[in-house]
Chains A and B, each alone.
Chain A
Amino acid sequence: MLIFNRSKYLILILVFLFSCEEAEYILDNRSDPANMDLVPPALFFHPPEIDVELGADVSVQIYGLELLPASAAHLKIKYDWGMLEYNSITANEFFTGINNPVVVDIPEQGLLDIYLYYLPDLIADQSEGGTWPLVTINFTAYAEGESDLEFDTDITVLKDFNNNSVLINEFGMGKINID
């Protein structure tokens, strides 16, 4: 009798409470700009922290977060030239339109001047803006240690097609750990 009563209640509970699975989620991906505590529009290094082995090649992107439309950029990057050797640079989607962007790199010891230009076409004379990578920088790690990657915030600037500066609220930092 007791078993019957329990079964009866169990059936009732199942009828009333049984339902499909609820969608549970945690949006904690570290590469998600929403988790980076940056105030857009912003520039940041992606990934913000990289672990590499000694002698390995390492690539880091300069990313724009919710940037306004721009026609050109001058990015000045500081790095530890005692650990990282600059190899090359590649332009990414931010300034890519019908034409590929022009990228000019002037490396010095521990400093890197990057000039990026949007090549106008019949449709647009500047990028659409948004969250896109600007360039990918390739280094080789040749000494153990930690190298910070920083923007020279006094120099780094984005310009629109009228040569006006484009607002950048915040600059993110990067770090490369070489073991």
Chain B
Amino acid sequence: MIRGLIIINLLIFCLVAEVTKSVSLATGNKLAVLRFEGWGISDPLTIFLTEEFRETIRELDVFQVQDRGITNEIKIFYPLKKDYWACWSEECVLDLGKRLNVNYIIAGNIQKKDGDSFLINGRLFSIDMETLLSEFAMNSSGITDSLLLEMKKMAYNVSGLPIPDTLSVGSDTSQVVITGDLDRKKTWFKLPPIPSKIKALMMSTALPGSGQIWAQKKYPGYGFMGMEATLGTAALIAYIQYESSWGDFEKSYNAYQNGTDPHNLILLRPKVIKYANDTRKYNAFMRNIRSVGASIWIVNMVHAYLVAPNDDFFDGEYFFDLEYQPEINQFQFNVNF
């Protein structure tokens, strides 16, 4: 059994290494890791393992791994499907890959078998070549740390790199390494990532419609952008006319105030009134545009917030998280301020 696993791993390693080298020269190396599907294991654990897998591949620096937030935005394309990550067929993955604008996609699942043993399945697809590059499976038995270790090994395999000894030796060493990794992450100061909804809100606050466009709601985004641009242009034209009228008003009014010739004064009087009315008219128009523009702006902000993908907050990086504690082999709910 162990021999078989080693042979499969070596085969996968050779295949993936070769494919990566030959393809990455011709194509890009953007990789999206879809959330693994968990069969018989909890959602938080699946998410945690997927993210560890993703992080390990990213650290190996072979692939340019797409951020979890962006990858999870495939919800945008499949908003009605709860199990959107269960994208296992070539057709589904290729479609997603094109939408996510990546060169490779990894999809997989983690199955709980009898007792404490798990089976991890993964598939590496090339979007550019529109084919399944490799399929890999790994067995893990015993504690959850072993599962994590297998995920890390799989990351090395996928990246076409040899699995380091620290991961290959016994489970005790592996546990130390993993715990060390977790500690190291906590040691480094890292600003918390901006949740997608807040990011979309901020983008649309800065530039109306940009948040929606970022969230793949292009038509509403362009709509908001266009409306604000139209209103802005109208306001600009009104402002230019206001400025012109204001200049004429000041000129006429100063001439009226300093004038002594009744003939000139009688001509200036209607001009002063006209230009003053013009400035009021354009000012009122600008005020209306401002009100309408501000209202649309606010609606645009709210809309951007609503249509942006909803991040999963249980990943230990947001204000509150559900974090796996290997020391006690339990999940812990934390609140971060």
Interface set of A (CB-CB < 8 Å, partner B): 15-16, 18-25, 27, 29, 31-34, 46-47, 63, 65, 93, 130-133
Contact = CB atoms under 8 A, between A and B. Distances in A.
A23 B276 contact: yes
Given A27-B269, A34-B269, A19 B283 contact: yes
Contacts of B280: 22-23
A65 B262 contact: yes
A19 B262 contact: no
Nearest to A24: B276
Interface of B: 239, 242, 246, 249, 253, 256-257, 259-263, 265-266, 269, 272-273, 275-276, 279-280, 282-283, 286-287, 290-291, 294
B275 to A, nearest CB: 7
A25 B270 CA distance: 12
A16 B291 contact: yes
A19 B290 contact: yes
B286 A32 contact: no
Q: Chain B binding site: helix, strand, loop or mixed by DSSP?
A: helix
A-B pairs with the 10 shortest C-beta distances? A23-B276, A23-B279, A32-B265, A33-B262, A31-B260, A19-B287, A23-B249, A15-B294, A20-B283, A131-B266
B263 A25 contact: no
B265 A25 contact: no
A18 B283 CA distance: 10
20 contacts: A16-B291, A19-B283, A19-B287, A19-B290, A22-B279, A22-B280, A23-B276, A23-B279, A23-B280, A24-B276, A25-B276, A27-B256, A29-B265, A31-B262, A32-B269, A34-B266, A130-B263, A131-B262, A132-B263, A133-B263
Pick from B266, B280, B283, B287 the residue with the most CB of A within 10 Å: B266
Contacts of B286: 19-20
Contacts of A25: 249, 253, 272-273, 276
Q: For B263, B266, B272, which residue has the most chain A Cβ atoms within 10 angstroms?
A: B263
Contacts of A23: 246, 249, 275-276, 279-280
